[in-house]
Amino acid sequence: MKIGSIDLGNRPVTLAPMEDVTDASFRILCREAGAAMVTTEFVSSDGLVRDVSKTIAKMHTLEEEAPVAVQIYGSLPDAMVDAARMADKAAELAGGHGADFIDINWGCPVSKIAGRGAGSGMMREPDKLVAITEAIVKAVPDKPVTVKTRLGWDDNSKIIVELAERLQDVGVSALTIHGRTRCQMYKGEADWTLIGEVKNNPRIHIPIIGNGDINSAAKAKEMFDRYGVDGIMVGRASFGHPWIFTEIRHLLDTGEELPPMPVKDRVALAKRHFQLSLDLKGPVTGVYEMRRHLSCYFKGLRDFKETRIKLVTSKDPEEIFATLDYVAQRWGDETPIVEGVYGL
């Protein structure tokens, strides 16, 4: 599968953007585990054009995580176009590797974004959505522009089949579709039938990436086989479980499923993740922002409550590393299995 001139390989599995989750440390870990492409946290177009330093910092990427997309969101046409131009110059503005792709967030369902007309809120204004997308494509002619969106606003307005054609016609290089409407949020099961209909539309020639409820290697393979999508995007199931990319890649390439990862190997990954967080963000922010990850690495582990509390309350990096060593010593050979989605 190619996006622009970048080849992501056969049946690539990519990392979805998730606010407060997909920072550089997590993106690097997922790339090392086999994710074919990763995406930044949501970058506010309003924040970029107002020159908010925290927003600009979200565009900082590293060579180790490439290929990487910078994802922008907003609802004001001029601000979105200016933000796309800034994302195109991410290496210059934020340092690091920059953006290989610019992704437009027309899919986030949370009220603080969709309620203001951004994210999946734009599904109620498809003409405006397409017009902004076309303006962005024209504003960054040398950079592939991709879109992530949903089936529609609600069950009575599932517009994705027609919308996919319109987005392709204005120059989008790839389309990721989450199999829910905005009103569903993350409830119920993702409906992949319309994703499959988009993919099998003879008018569609851009890559179609399916997203929603991919929480195991078997589920990923099933969706590839059943709906013929070009790629799959994994979101919530990677949280506390970044090795899901290794599991999926192994099944797709060999036809065999890997056994569950034992705790001692999870500890090694957690320590690698924590060290990256410390290196990139320093001891204060690095500790604070790892708390949401650390306990999820060991979700389902018996008699873990007291140790979990220690992991998510300690402010001392050395104490946290020592606690992780204790976890490996105490539960090292166990393989907790959690049904359904990890983490979020």
Say which DSSP state 16 is in.
Answer: P
Catalytic residue status for 108: yes
Site of tokens 């204005």: 170
Tell me, what amino acid is at 270?
A
Peptide linkage before 67 cis (omega within 30 of 0):
yes
Say which DSSP state 4 is in.
Answer: T
Alpha-carbon 340 to chain mean position: 18
H-type alpha helices, the chain: 24-33, 45-49, 53-57, 77-88, 90-94, 111-114, 126-139, 160-169, 193-199, 217-227, 244-254, 263-294, 305-313, 317-331
- Bridge partners (DSSP) listed for residue 146: 103, 174
Q: Which residues are catalytic?
A: 108
